[in-house]
Structure 1
C-alpha cells in the first residue's frame, strides 16, 4: 500500500499540498506571500506565533502594519520592496510590532517572485531574534564597561604614582618656605614666601584630589546619616552657587546609616554642585536627591544586584556632548574654558565612590542638563 494513501494520512503526491504542509509546519519563522503592492496573501503558523495574528486578521491587509509609525512615515516598507525587486533580494533587521503592541527584533528576508518577466509578488520570511539581539547588547555593554573600568584603573595607577612624587616635592618646597620665613625677617621676603606657600597649599589640595582618584588616599569611615549631612550643608551649597541658581533637596525617607568618609563625601557633593553651577552661566536649578536602590556595578554585569544608597545631583544646564561623556571622570579632562577648572572635581567623585565600594554614573542630554549619581554601598549599615 502507498503510505500516502493510507487511512488518515495526507496526500503528499500533490506538490502544492506538500508546500502548504511544509510552510504551515514551520513555527520559528513567519513565512508569507505579498502581492506586488505589499498586501498579505498567505499566512503560516510561524506568523501566528511570532506576531500574534490569526490568518483571518492579516490576509488582505498591507504588511506595513508590522512596522513602527516612524518607519511608515519614512516610507521604509515600500523602500524594502523596491530594493528586493531591483536587487533580487532584501535582507535586514529592525524593530517590528506584534499584535499586542510590543516590539520584537526581526531578521527579515524579502524575495521577489516573477512569472516570466512579470513581478507577481514577494516571499517574505521573518525570524524573531529579540533574545539574541538583547544578549548581544548586554555583552557589548559588559565589554564596554570592562574596557572603561580597565582604562580608569590604568589611569588611576599612573595618577597615583605621579601624585605621590608630586606630594614629596611639595613637602620639600613647603618645608623650605617655612625655613626661609623664620630665618629671613625681611617683610618683602615674607610676602613672597606667603604667596609661594598659598600656591604650594593649592598644589597640596590638587594632590589630595589626585590621590582620591587613584584610591591612594586612606578613607576615614564613620557611620553617617547622609540626609542629615546634606541638610547641614544646605547653607554652604547655596552660597557656592550664587543668586542665579536654586538648590533644592529631594531626600528619601527611611534611608540606612552608611559608613563613609565624611570629609570626602562633603567634598564630592560640593564638587558636583559647583560643576552644575558652572554649566548654568545664565542661572538654573540643581536638585540633590537621595534614595535606596538596587543595582549592579557596571563592570560586573553578571553579578547579582546589591543595595546602594544613591546620591544624585541633577542640573538644568548645558549638558555634556556625547563624545565627551566617557571621559568626564578622567583627571584633568574638562569641557570648561581654560582657567575655569582643574578637571579634578569629577575624578574626585569617581575615586571616592570607587574607594567606598560603590561607583559613579553620569547621564547627560546636550541642552537638557546633567545628572551625576554616586551609588554607595549599604552592606555595612547599622544593625546589619
Structure 2
C-alpha cells in the first residue's frame, strides 16, 4: 500500500495536487528542473517537453526580446522576491494572463535556483476589463445626462425668448414698407430662425422635444433620403447605402431620423476636404446598450454612417456627443450635430456609438430598438 512516510513523496504529491498553479524549480540560469500537473494543465506542456529548457519559452516574443525573463530572476535574486502580472504563451501559441511569483532558493547563503509559481488569471483580468468598460460607459452616460438636464432648462428659456423675437419681427415687417428696413428685418429673421433651429437641437439632446414615433421600414427611409443626402456631399465625395434584407420595421420619428442622417453625412463630408467615400449600412444587432451592459441583450436596427476621413483624436472621443463640442475649426460647426444624434437615439429607446482613430476614418452607429410586434 502506498505510504506518505517519505517527506520527498509528500512534497511531490502536494505540488502535483495543486492543479490550478504551475509550480516548478529553475536552476540559477533559468532552466527548468521540475514540473507539476498544474503547469501541464495551464501551459499545455508535459514534463518531458520542458524540463531542461529555459523558462523564457513561456514569455511572449516581445517580452522575451525586452529581457523580461532575466529581469525577473535578477529582481528575485537582489530583492528576495519578484511578482508580476502579464501575458504568457501556451504550447498551442495562445496567450493567457498570468500572475507570477519567483522566489530565490538559497543554501548556505548561496543561490542554487528559483521557485516559480504561475497562476492563470485570464478570467479575472477579462472580468475586470469588462467592469472597467461598463464603469466608464456609466460615468459617461451620467455626465451626458447631467449636461442634458442643464441644456434642457436653458433651451426652453431661450426658445421662449426667440419665439417672442420672431413674432415681434413678423409684426414689424408687416407694418414696414421701406425696402432697406425690410432687408434688415429679413436678416434678423433668418438669424432668429437659425437660433430656433439650434434650440431644437438642444431640446432633442436634453429629451425635451417630443418625438412622434410611427412604424417605418428603415430601408425605405434611407432609400428615399439618399437624393437629399447626396446633395449634401461636395464634389469628390461619394455616398452609397448597403442595407441588410428583411430588416424589421421599427417605431421611429422619421423627421428626426432623417435629420440625424443628414447631420452624420455632413460631418463625414467635412472630415474629407479632399474627397472620399461615405457608406450607410443598416443591420440587425443583438446587444445591450453600452450604458447598461448589465441588461439582457435586446434587438436593435443599427444604422452606421462610415467615412474614410481624418478620424478623431483618441482624447476627444469621450466628448464627441457633448453639446457645443466640435473638432472643426471655429466658425465651421455649432457642435450640436452629434449631440442631436445622441439625444434622438436615447429618446427613441436606443443608443449612439462612435468609433474613430486618427487617419482611420469614423463610424457613427445609431441603434434603434425593434418593437416586440416586429420580432
Instruction: Give the structure-1-normalised TM-score.
Output: 0.94
Task: Kindly indicate whether the alpha-carbon contact (under 8 Å) linking 1:259 and 1:380 is maintained by their aligned counterparts in 2.
Answer: no
Give the Cα separation in 2 of the matches to 1:78 and 1:273. 54
Q: Does 1:149 align with 2:146?
A: no
C-alpha contact (below 8 Å) 2:134/2:291 kept by paired residues: yes
SS at match of 2:115: strand
After TM superposition, the structure 1 = structure 2 runs for residues 90-239 of structure 1, keeping only pairs within 5 Å, are: 90-239=82-231
Report the equivalent of 2:270. Answer: 278
| Distance (whole Å) between structure 1 residues aligned to residue 206 and residue 324 of structure 2 | 13
Task: Output the CA distance in 2 between the equivalents of 1:318 and 1:86.
Answer: 50
Residues 257, 381 of structure 1: 8 Å contact kept: no
Cα distance in structure 2, aligned partners of 1:374 and 1:62: 52
- Picking from 343, 360, 365, the partner of 1:368 is 360
Question: 2-side partners of 1:285 and 1:17: how far apart?
Answer: 70
Give 1:70 deviation, angstroms. 2.2
Q: Name which of 13, 18, 21 aligns with 2:10.
A: 18
Question: How far does residue 280 in structure 1 lie from its aligned partner after superposition?
Answer: 1.3
Q: Who is 1:312 aligned against?
A: 304
SS in 2 for 1:203: helix
Q: CA deviation at 1:19?
A: 2.5
Over 3 Å counting, the alpha-carbon distance change for 1:43 and 1:264 in structure 2 is: same
Q: CA offsets per residue over residues 43-77 of structure 1, 9 Å max, x none?
A: 01111222222111211222122222222232222
Once superposed, which parts of structure 1, at least 4 consecutive aligned residues long, lie more than 6 Å away?
none
Partner Cα distance (2:248, 2:278) in 1: 24
8 A contact 2:251–2:371 mirrored in 1: no
Secondary structure in 2 matching 1:125: strand
Q: How far does residue 331 in structure 1 lie from its aligned partner after superposition? A: 0.4
Deviates more, 1:321-330 or 1:133-142: 133-142
Shift of 1:117: 5.0
1:282 Cα deviation after fit: 1.6
Per the alignment, residue 3 of structure 2 pairs with: 9
Q: C-alpha displacement at 1:131, in angstroms?
A: 1.8
* Structure 1 residue 370: Cα displacement: 1.0
Which runs of no fewer than 5 residues in structure 1 stay unpaired? 1-6
Q: Could you tell me which residue of structure 2 aligns to residue 3 of structure 1? A: none
Give the one of 231, 241, 264 matched to 2:233: 241
Maintained 8 Å contact 1:256/1:381: no
Residues in 2 aligned to 1:231 and 1:83: alpha-carbon distance in whole angstroms: 65
RMSD: 1.5
**Which of 285, 289, 311 is the aligned partner of 2:281?**
289
Q: State the alpha-carbon separation in 1 of the partners of residues 154 and 265 from structure 2.
A: 28
The alpha-carbon deviation at position 324 of structure 1 amounts to: 0.8
User: Does structure 1 conserve the Cα–Cα contact (< 8 Å) formed by 2:32 and 2:55?
Assistant: yes
Q: 1:362 to 1:88 in 2, by over 3 A?
A: same
- Larger displacement relative to structure 2 (270-279 or 223-232): 223-232
Work out the CA distance in 1 between the residues paired with 2:128 and 2:318.
21
Structure 1 pair 75–250 and aligned structure 2 pair: CA distance change class (3 A): farther
Give the CA deviation at 1:106: 0.6
Gap runs ≥5 in structure 2? none
Partner Cα distance (2:358, 2:73) in 1:
37
